[in-house]
Structure formats: structure tokens, C-alpha cells
Structure 1
């Protein structure tokens, strides 16, 4: 039956689909009044705590970077984001959907990632936002 395969089951939250798990240290950058509060709450519920800000001294498992057109240089922001990142950590760049205020062309993210030493592995739709998962290439990870 079609209804049995539809989303909405336990474990089908956006945070689960994005790879967040309990106990992760997640740093949030670029928060503003336009960010998706439901997604933020979902991530914090999944990790079992609050996301940390840019002043955190922890080793970071995942960086959530809210990025809009006009926020500055994405390469610089990505370079700053990966500094505290664990060797197997990754970055989610969330940007407003195409056609909405602050929209970032997906090609800008795809072109900025390798310049910052990252590889784009996944792009997802999250309501009014799009998410791009950026990882550190295995060959570039610290020993």
C-alpha cells in the first residue's frame, strides 16, 4: 500500500535523514531570524542538546552553515567552518530555495567547496531551504 511507504514514521525526521545522531557536537554558523526554526529544533532534539556557536572550543562533528546571497565570501566562511572540524566531520550549507529572497545559486556552493578543500556529496530539499553536504576528502584528512 502506498500509505505505508510515505514519510512521517519515527526516525524519518530531517535531522535523521541528514545524518545527525545523538551525542554529536554540532556548530551553528550564520543563524538569523530567517533560519528554519523547525529544522533547528529537530537537529537539537536528535543530537540531544543545543548546537554550539562560533565561540565553542570543542572538536566539531558537523557544522551547520546558514548561507544567503550577500553573506560574504563563501570560500572564506567554509575555511573558517572546517578549522575545528573532526577528521570525519562534515559541513551542511543551508541556503534559501531557488526563487526566494537570499537564494544562493547551487553552482556557487559546488564551486566554492573544492577551493575550501571540501567535496560536495549530497544536495537535499528542506522546505524553504536547500542543504548541501560538504565533506573533507579522505586524502586531505589529518593523520
Structure 2
């Protein structure tokens, strides 16, 4: 399936680094989340997205909107089940969409939560993704 910005969901899932066997926790899902992207991610990991976990997860997929509140709170919550070497994909509405999150808020939120912004990715016509990682000195 192709999105309006020319990416396919399969290439978006690959760009996000999803591979079979990864434990991926999803937080912040709502009706506006890109279902086709979610399905493609589940296909790529060959499993379901987790909502709760008794073990550390490799990746947290965090859907976040401006109306969800302070992005710091969402990022701190996302760290709860994340493995020391894991990372977060923060998905926010694209510019011009309802509930768009200002990049300055994301950068400040990442810093406050003790995370570093890594590479961004265009994942669908309505959502953009930003990878957040623990700074290298904090990974164990």
C-alpha cells in the first residue's frame, strides 16, 4: 500500500528498523493512528504489538498528539518497559494536521526525559516519526 507522500507502509516499517522477533510496545494508540502502518509493523516483527509487558521491550511505538499533554510525561512513561539498549519511535501528526506537536517541544521533552533525538522518518501521509535513544553513556 502506498501513502500520499510516496512511501509504502512496508518501506516505512523497514526504515524504522522493525525486524522479526522484536518486542514492540505500543502506547498512545487511538482511532486516528495509522492502522495500515500498524499492520505493516506487526507483519515486519511477525507478532502483535504489546500494550503491557512483563519483560523489557526492544522498541516503544509512542503515538503522541499536542492534546495528549506534556510530551515529557509520555516519554518518561515510554521508558518504563524499555530495555537499556531499546529505543522509542515517537509518532506525531505532520505539519498542518490537527494536534501537530512543535519540534521544539519534542526536543525539549527528549532532553528533559534524558533522551537524545536520532533520525526522523516519514512513515505515512498523516504521521511523522522521530527516533529517541538513550545517550551512549547511559546505555548498558
When normalised by structure 1's length, the TM-score is 0.87
Q: 2:39 aligns with which of 38, 41, 54?
A: 41
2:133 counterpart (132, 135, 142): 135
Give me the whole-angstrom Cα distance separating, in 2, the residues matched to 1:13 and 1:133. Answer: 16
Contact map agreement 2:15 2:121 (CA 8 A) in 1: no
Q: 2:49 aligned with 1:63, yes or no?
A: no
Counterpart residue number, 1:24: 22
Which ranges of structure 2 fall in alignment gaps of 5 or more residues? 1-5
The alpha carbon displacement at 1:58 in A equals 2.1
Q: Which residue is equivalent to 1:107?
A: 104
In 1: Cα distance, 2:44 partner to 2:84 partner: 22
* CA distance in 2: counterparts of 1:104 and 1:89, whole angstroms: 23
Alpha-carbon RMSD: 1.8
Matches within 5 A, 1:74-113: 74-113=71-110
TM-score, normalized by length of structure 2?
0.89
1:3 is matched with which residue? Answer: none
SS at match of 1:70: helix
Q: Quick one: higher RCO (CA 8 Å, sep 6+), 1 or 2?
A: 2
After superposition, the Cα gap between the structure-2 partners of 1:109 and 1:48, relative to the gap in structure 1 and judged at 3 Å, is same
Deviating above 4 A after TM superposition, structure 1's stretches of 4 or more consecutive aligned residues are: none
Alignment partners' CA distance in 1, 2:130 and 2:98: 18
Alignment of 1:117-128 (within 5 A): 117-126=114-123, 127-128=125-126
